[in-house]
């Protein structure tokens, strides 16, 4: 199955929710854990125990594993395996982007099933040109994976680049959306998506031909609410993948607390999107 089809099936089975796994130092210490690989491992094992068989998609932030070097990467590899074994999809937040053989290397690292870091989908940035990501798109097609490309993010400095006008008058963000839409042409459920921050508000973007998913991070502790999902995310609410991180993770280390927080977030998203998933 393509990633797009598997994502649709996962959302139908478990609901439209993505949980970010962002083990910030403050979060580890807030859980009473040490800020080291041992604390990282206990943190991720608890998240897996609490939510892996209940949530459709998980989005580990690679940076918070990489900061511990090889031991942190080992924890990331184990977390990916455990999440996928529990039937969840894993979207690795790595925001990679380069050219030529380097992009091909990233594609092999994350989208080739032979890799110990193989996941269902990754995030990527297009600022060396959307075409520079072609090796990632090719690997995703070959192995049933997905790629989410940054379009309009909520960080304060994003607008100077992402809302800048291209030679034909389109904002850069719209150019990204349009090029990803071309990759999804003819697919019943496209495997290539875009990232639009939930805190951005009305975007002015035309998503009507995207044909793929829209990852909406920034819900909860970053300031957006499920109600914000009704503005700027296109005509198909079923395409939106809302993502929460600290709002849910702060409810740990209690397994019951994590489950309750995830259930509350999912209920909010279902009401806001008014979709039967």
Specify the 3-state DSSP secondary structure of 94: strand
Distance, CA of 136 to chain centre = 16
What does the angle CA 120 – CA 123 – CA 127 come to, to the nearest 5 degrees?
Answer: 145
- CA 76 – CA 78 distance, rounded (Å): 5
Match 């995703």 to its residue by tokens: 140
- List, in order of start, the domains of the chain with CATH numbers: 3-273 (3.20.20.70)
pLDDT tens for 203-241 read: 889 999 999 999 999 999 888 999 888 877 878 888 999
The CA-atom distances, in angstroms, between 114 and each of 3, 41, 75, 230 are 17, 23, 18, 39
Catalytic residue among 24, 71, 95, 270: 95
pLDDT over threshold 70, residue 277? no
**59 vs 274 pLDDT, higher one:** 59
- Note if 11 is an active site residue: no
Q: Is the peptide bond before 253 cis (omega within 30 degrees of 0)?
A: yes
260 in helix, strand or coil? helix
């Amino acid at each position: 199955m393509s990633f797009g089809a598997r994502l649709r099936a996962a959302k139908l089975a478990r609901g439209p929710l993505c949980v970010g796994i962002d083990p910030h130092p403050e979060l580890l210490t807030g859980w009473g854990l040490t800020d080291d690989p041992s604390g990282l491992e206990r943190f991720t094992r608890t998240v897996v125990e609490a939510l892996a068989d209940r949530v459709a998609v998980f989005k580990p932030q690679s940076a918070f594993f990489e900061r511990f070097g090889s031991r942190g990467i080992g924890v990331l590899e184990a977390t990916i395996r455990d999440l996928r074994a529990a039937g969840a999809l894993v979207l690795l937040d790595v925001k990679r982007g380069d050219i030529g053989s380097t992009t091909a290397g990233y594609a092999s690292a994350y989208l080739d099933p032979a890799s110990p870091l193989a996941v269902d989908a990754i995030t990527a940035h297009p600022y060396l040109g959307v075409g520079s990501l072609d090796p990632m798109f090719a690997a995703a097609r070959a192995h049933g994976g997905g790629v989410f490309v940054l379009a309009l993010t909520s960080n304060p400095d994003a607008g100077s680049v992402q809302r800048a006008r291209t030679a034909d008058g389109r904002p850069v963000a719209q150019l990204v959306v349009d090029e990803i839409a071309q990759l999804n042409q003819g697919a019943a459920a496209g495997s290539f998506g875009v990232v639009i921050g939930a805190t951005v508000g009305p975007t002015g973007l035309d998503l009507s031909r995207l044909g793929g998913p829209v990852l909406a991070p920034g819900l909860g502790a970053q300031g957006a609410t499920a109600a914000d999902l009704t503005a700027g995310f296109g005509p198909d609410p079923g395409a939106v993948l809302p993502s929460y991180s600290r709002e849910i993770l702060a409810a740990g280390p209690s397994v019951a607390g994590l489950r309750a927080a995830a259930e509350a977030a999912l209920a909010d998203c279902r009401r806001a999107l008014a979709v039967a998933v």
